[in-house]
Every structure is written in C-alpha cells, then in structure tokens.
Structure 1
Amino acid sequence: MKKDEVPQDKGNLSNKNMKELVYATDEKGNYTTALSTGWEPKTIALSNSIEEISERIAIAKAQVENNEVSPICYYMEFCRMDIGVLSSYVGMWQWRVKRHFKPRVFARLSDSILEKYAESFNITIEELKNFKTN
C-alpha cells in the first residue's frame, strides 16, 4: 500500500491519541514507515477475538464454580494461554496438565507443582488453591 493510502479509520488506538507504525511504499516504490490511527477490518477482527476470549474466561469461571474443572483451567484462559503454552511454562506434558484440570486430581497436587502453575499465572499458591469468584 502506498504511504498516502495508509488507512486512518477510527480504531482502538484513536481513542488513546496513539498511532500504529505500519509499512508502506513511497512515491519511488521503496518501503518506508507510516503512522495509522486504525483500520476498520483490523478493529473488527480484534474486537471479535477479545469478545471470544472473554466468553471463554466466563465459561471457565462457571465451570470452576460448578466444580467441573480446577482453577488451573480458569487461570490458563485468563492469562490467554492454551495447553501447549501452559505445559511449556510449567515443564510438564500436555496430557499431565489436562489431568490437573480435574478437581479431584488438583486437590491432591503438591505445593511444588502448584508453585509452577502459580508462577506461570503470576499469582500465589494461596490464590490458586482458594479460587475466588468475584
């Protein structure tokens, strides 16, 4: 896209008086940078993905409240992780992390394992053990 055609739509950044750095071509066809306040398709896609993440967090919260899954599942969603990312942070196989989603298995986890999860979620072991639904 040419530098003078960089979109300046109202986006997530325009409310904060910020601009995004994007690549464009100048009049000679060379790549250069330009500032953009937003681009409507990108804003829509970002809003949709944030909405989906919020829904997944709410579902995980309800499942913890109903004792269907452990708090590990909620914090994984809240921290925008998936099984692969979380398992790499805690240094365990994915099947083992999934197993820790079961409330009965979670209740028997040692503090050393819980510490790995707590560190990954940037919370304390007590916060992980005593999940509060605010």
Structure 2
Amino acid sequence: MKKEEVPQDKSNLSKSNMKELCYATDENGNYTTALSSGWEPKTIALEQSMLEINERIEQAKEDVKLGLVSPIVYFMEVCKMDWMTLSGYVGMWTWRVKRHGKPSVFKKLSNKLLAKYAEAFEISVEELKNYKGE
C-alpha cells in the first residue's frame, strides 16, 4: 500500500488520540512507515472481540455468584488471560490452576497461594477471597 493510501478511518484509536504504525511504500517504491488512525475491518474485528470478552466476563461473574466456579475464573477473564497464561504468571502447572477454579478447592487454598493469584490479577488477597460475583 502506498503511504498516501494508509487508512485513516475512525476507530477506538482515534478516540484516544493514538495512531498505529504501519508500513507503506513511498513515491520511490521504498518501504517506509506511516501513521494510521484506524482501519474499518480491523475496528470491527476489535469491537467484536471486546464484545465476546465482555460476555465471558459476565458469564464468569454469574458462575461465581451461583457457586459454579471460584473467583479465579472471573479475575482471569477480567485480565484477559487463559489457563496457560495464568499458570505462567503464578508459576504452576496448568492442571493445578484449573483445579483452583473449583470453589471447593479454592476455599482450601493458603494465603500464600492466593497471594500469587492476587499479584497476577493486581488485586489484594482479600478482594480475591471475598469476591462473590457482585
């Protein structure tokens, strides 16, 4: 794409006065960089993915409220993590972290272990322990 053809559509980037760096060709055909305020297809894809993330957060909140999952699942969704990512942050096997997603197992976790999760989620241990899906 030529430098003057770099998309400048309205997007979430333009709302925050941010620009995205793109590669384009100049008048001599050489690669150069150009700033873009947005590109409609990309904006649509990002908005769709954010809607899906928000739906998963709401579902996790409801599941915590109903006692189906532990608060770990909710905060994992809020922080846009999956089981493997979270296990990397807390330094545990993925199967073990998934197990901590069960309310019965979560209730038995030590404060030391809860502190690892709280640090990964950037919240306090008390906030993690006391979250009931409100």
Relative to the length of structure 2, the TM-score reads 0.95
Structure 2 residue ranges without an equivalent (≥5): none
2-side partners of 1:57 and 1:81: how far apart? 11
1:116 corresponds to: 116
2:8 corresponds to: 8
Equivalent AA in structure 2 for residue 64 of structure 1: V
Post-superposition, which runs of at least 4 consecutive aligned residues in structure 1 deviate over 6 A? none
Q: CA deviation at 1:52?
A: 0.5
Q: Percent identity?
A: 67
Q: Which aligned pairs between 1:53-72 and structure 2 lie closer than 5 A?
A: 53-72=53-72
Q: 1:63 to 1:133 in 2, by over 3 A?
A: closer
Q: 1:132 to 1:65 in 2, by over 3 A?
A: closer
Q: CA deviation at 1:56?
A: 0.4
Equivalent AA in structure 2 for residue 51 of structure 1: L
User: CA RMSD for the aligned pairs?
Assistant: 1.1
1-side partners of 2:22 and 2:116: how far apart? 38
Between 102-111 and 17-26, the greater mean CA deviation after superposition: 17-26
Kindly indicate whether the alpha-carbon contact (under 8 Å) linking 2:60 and 2:77 is maintained by their aligned counterparts in 1. yes
